[in-house]
Structure 1
Amino acid sequence: MNKDLTIIYQRLTPLFKRISHTRYWLQVVNDPYDRSYNFFFNSQRQNERVKSIPLHKLRDYDLTTLENLITGLKAKTNLTIEFVDFAGMRWPSTQKVIQWRREQLE
Structure 2
Amino acid sequence: MTPRSLTQLRRATRTTATRAKARSGAEAADRLAAARATPAKRRAGRPRGPERVPLSVRLLVETDVRLTLACAQTGQTPQYLVEDALQLLFKELGVPRPSASAPGVG
Q: Same fold (TM over 0.5)?
A: no
TM score, norm. by length of structure 1: 0.19
Larger-gyration structure (1/2): 2
TM score, norm. by length of structure 2: 0.19
From the two aligned structures, give the one with the greater strand fraction: 1
Say which structure, 1 or 2, has more relative contact order (CA 8 Å, 6+ apart): 1
From the two aligned structures, give the one with the greater helix fraction: 2
